[in-house]
Chain A
Amino acid sequence: MSRIAAIASNTFREAVRDRVLYNLILFALIMIGASLLIGQITIAVQRQLLINLGLTSISIFGVLIAIFIGIGLVSKEIDKRTLYTVLTRPVRRWEFILGKFFGLLGTLVVNAGLMSIGFFLALLYLMHGLQKSDGWIVVAIFFILLQFVIVTSLALLFSAFSTPIESAVLTFAMFVVGSFSEDLRAFAASANGVAHYLATGMAYVMPNFSALNVIAQVAHGSSIDWHLIVFNTIYALTYAGAAVCAASIIFQNRNMK
């Protein structure tokens, strides 16, 4: 356990030194600030626009951070040959993967926290206070964190067997496909025979990011069913867990010579 924690804290320290991270956070905060300006040229949707643009920025920039940092987690260690130093110590390969996963996740949680503070400050500035329904925004941010959990696990999975560029393309493709999961389900429902079973299977294998996106809902002040909160949490944690296991298996069997 302490070995995983050591790798995680090292990964966190390394990630926070990455300049890309700060550029993306800054950009997200600029986007949140910009929503206050865009609100001036529209009618009656200033609050909704701030919530939609703010949470979308947190989500998209978080996913980009997860991809850009996640893809290099393993390959960088191999390129810099630091991996061999780590593996000569009593560290199992799966512990290395798990440590990397938690390290990056910690980075993303801290980043999302910073962006959320910026977002809530903007909301306070615009509305001169918070409403009771704004509590659901916290749930939407929690769902965004669950998205990060899945994206990080996928970035790690792909980086365990491919180059950084290939990992980035594959992870981003999974994010796009996962965002279309409702369409995939609709197609499965309308298809017959083998196509139906294939599409249904694909809908379960691919990550489902649609269910984790409740931004538009909370922008209208609508509540979120607690069943959705519970099952989305279970889904995201188990799916990411399975992806991390797959990454560990691949990494375990990878020839490092």
Chain B
Amino acid sequence: MKASSQLRVSLSLTTVMVALFAVAAASLYKVDQIRSETRQQDVLYISSAKALKRLSLGYNGLMADLYWTRAVQYFGWKHKHRETDYHLLYPLLDITTELDPQLIAAYRFGAPFIAQPPPNGAGEPDKAVDLIERGIKHNPNEWRLYYELGFLQAMERHDYTAAADAFKRGSQVPGAHPFLQILAAAMAQHGGDIQTARMLWQTTLETSDNAMIKQNAERHLRALEVDQTVPQLEQVVRTFREKTGVQPTSFLQLVSAGYLRHIPVDPLGHPYKLRPDGEVEVQDPDALPFIKQGLPPDYHPALKSVPELRM
């Protein structure tokens, strides 16, 4: 009798417990919905790296890793939602690198996050350069940081003299990739050329040990190829029109007339499209992020295919 009474009490309590937990979970779900507009990650409770250093009781390395992870999450969230306001990104990276000045990843990956124009980054190349320069000051033997600096100066600030100087400084670091010397010379002579940009991305592809960076470099190389091919094709169309007085309606017409050897295809193997006005565009612009040429008029990138960043 006593045992069955105990069992009854236990079962009743279990039922109440499950019911209460279900109500709590449902309430939390509602709370999440209410608070969806006010994101917690937009708050930096402690903005002083020095204060954080003290609060970490000497475990700075762990604190820096956590802040770096927070910066990655903050950036990823903003990037995914195509936001243009990245105001906490630099403070988060600043704190991370103050806590652990040897955390190379925060400089190498963080600087492009800051430099690239919105919505792909914070659009603050000067701050990105400051961050990388600080990284170099603390880690003068990390040749990759000089490479990143040169890259930023060339691609984001278009300061090819500064880029050449960064590559040159990097080439003097023991164990530096020999390509830095070539890049320094290329920057000094042909800073703004598409070939130089191709060389930079190719170097990134060949020297990086990170799969994401490699994939991203490949995407940029594909974009450069499109940017180079589309104006060439449009020139062929113009020449045909000038010589025949007829606007071509397809690339097949140009191939038949001997202006092209074959139907042109983009780096993904899709044939280019020829518009009635003679402009050339790619079939699937979302699959070719970063292209500047060959975009359909009024094109807006789809949210699903947000391009990866240069990292």
**Closest residue of A by beta carbon distance from B73:** A41
Please report the C-alpha to C-alpha distance between residue A74 and residue B62 in the assembled complex, in whole angstroms: 35
B39-62 at interface with A (beta carbon < 8 Å): 54, 57-62
Given contacts A52-B65, A216-B100, contact A43 B57 (CB under 8 A): no
A220 touches B102 (CB 8 A): yes
Instruction: Map CB proximity to B onto A13-48 as digits: 1 under 8 Å, 0 otherwise.
Output: 000000000000000000000000010011111001
Contacting pair A41 B100 (CB below 8 A): no
B69 interfacial by beta-carbon distance below 8 Å: yes
Is the beta-carbon distance between B109 and A49 smaller than 8 angstroms?
no
Secondary structure type dominating chain B contacts: helix
Contact B59 A215 (CB under 8 A): yes
Q: Please give me the residue from chain A that is nearest to B311 by CB atom.
A: A43
Cβ proximity bits B97-135 to A, threshold 8 Å, 1 near / 0 not: 000101101001100000000000000000000000000
Interface 1/0s, chain B 277-311, versus A by CB < 8 A? Answer: 00000000000000000000000000000000001
State A220–B103 Cα separation when bound (angstroms): 8
Tally of chain A residues near chain B (CB < 8 A): 27
Among A44, A56, A180, A209, the most chain B Cβ lie within 10 Å of the Cβ of A44
A201 and B68 CA atoms in complex are apart in Å by: 38
CB distance from B151 to the nearest CB of A (A): 17
Give the total number of A-B pairs whose CB atoms are below 8 A apart: 66
Which chain A residue shows the least CB distance to B108?
Answer: A44
A interface, over-half SS: helix
Q: Which A residues touch B105, using CB under 8 A?
A: 43-45
CA distance A60 to B62 in the complex (A): 12
If A56-B62, A216-B61 are given as contacts, then 19 extra A-B residue pairs at C-beta distance below 8 Å, sorted by A number, are A41-B73, A42-B68, A43-B105, A43-B311, A44-B105, A45-B69, A48-B61, A48-B103, A49-B69, A52-B61, A53-B62, A56-B59, A56-B61, A176-B57, A179-B57, A210-B58, A213-B58, A213-B59, A215-B62
**Could you list which residues of chain B lie within 8 angstroms of chain A, going by C-beta atoms?**
54, 57-62, 64-65, 68-69, 72-73, 100, 102-103, 105, 108-109, 210, 212, 311
Chain A residues with CB under 8 Å of chain B are 38, 41-45, 48-49, 51-53, 56, 59-60, 175-176, 179-180, 183, 209-210, 213, 215-216, 219-220, 222
